[in-house]
Amino acid sequence: MYAITGVTGHVGGAAARALLAKGEPVRAVVRDPAKGGPWSEAGAEVFAADLGDRAALAEAFRGCRGAFVMLPTDPAADDTGHRALAASIAGAVRDSGVPHVVMLSSLGAELAEGTGPVRWLHHLENLLRETGVLLTAVRSGHFQEKAEAVLDAARGAGVYPVFGDSADTPLPMIATRDVGRVAAEALLSPPSAGEVIDLDAPAYTERQVAESLAAVLGRPLQVVTIPQSQWVDTMVEAGLPPQLARELADMYAAVDRGLLQPAGDRRLTCPTDIGETLRRLVTPAP
């Protein structure tokens, strides 16, 4: 049995589907039992547990060969709240005795500060290592699915906003379905010792992403760059809480400074093309 958290999201869902496709038993961990129905129909065992409930989460992991964990960014939580959530996850791992954990992490997670929300993944990685569990940390870069955040602006105003002075800097962008497959494969083939896997992928500029999205939408898009001095205000105006806007601005600044780089034990390449991902976002499968 493999316990998968975050199954209602992109990466956790992809990991669970990959395991089920191989005939492996999956325990889908959901916060809201009402969201477990599709997973039960797909053949998974559904277990209700909040990531902040250490005892319930430990029960979800207990008896499993491995568990996939992730630390969601809570718009309402501050630094203390995210660190407490990380402590709950690590505590549940310790209490459950699950032998192997695959964690969704990020490039730059080797750094303790200066990376915005990535520093919370640094904290969780270290807490998990302290439990003595065999840990596989899968460090990803930018998700291709981040384009979801600009779909309304693209569809409504024909605008593709870019947080940066240039839209022409290429960056690797990874499809979450590829990340989920890597996580599933890591669960099925535990390493002999803990390791960090860095994920690589095709590189695109934001302008190229905008052009691909325009092709999928069938309408032209205007690329608008937003200077760093306006990042926080722009995100707050879009509805983000100020503290989260500041955290994301710090992460974007870390990207601009080149801080989020591969630093793990080995690298894997994720092949999915951005065009395929954008088509899935614009026209989801039924």
Q: Are 111 and 118 in contact (CB under 8 A)?
A: yes
Burial of 216 (0-12, 13-18, 19+ CB in 10 A): middle
pLDDT at 286: 53
Residues of the chain with pLDDT below 70 are 285-286
| pLDDT given at position 77 | 87
φ, ψ (nearest 5 deg) of residue 246: -65, -40
Residue 46: in which H helix or E strand, if any? strand 45-48
Q: Which domains does the chain have, with CATH numbers?
A: 2-282 (3.40.50.720)
Q: Tokens standing for 119?
A: 């520093």
Model pTM greater than 0.85? yes
First CA to last CA distance, the chain: 28
pLDDT, one tens digit per residue, over 90-112 is: 999 999 999 999 999 999 999 99
**Cα distance between residue 66 and residue 266, in whole Å:** 21
The reported pLDDT for the residue numbered 256 is 86
The residue count for the chain: 286
Q: At what angle do helices 274-282 and 206-217 cross, to 10 degrees?
A: 40
Give per-residue pLDDT as tens, 189-247.
999 999 999 999 999 999 999 999 999 999 999 999 999 999 999 999 888 899 999 99
pLDDT score of 96: 97
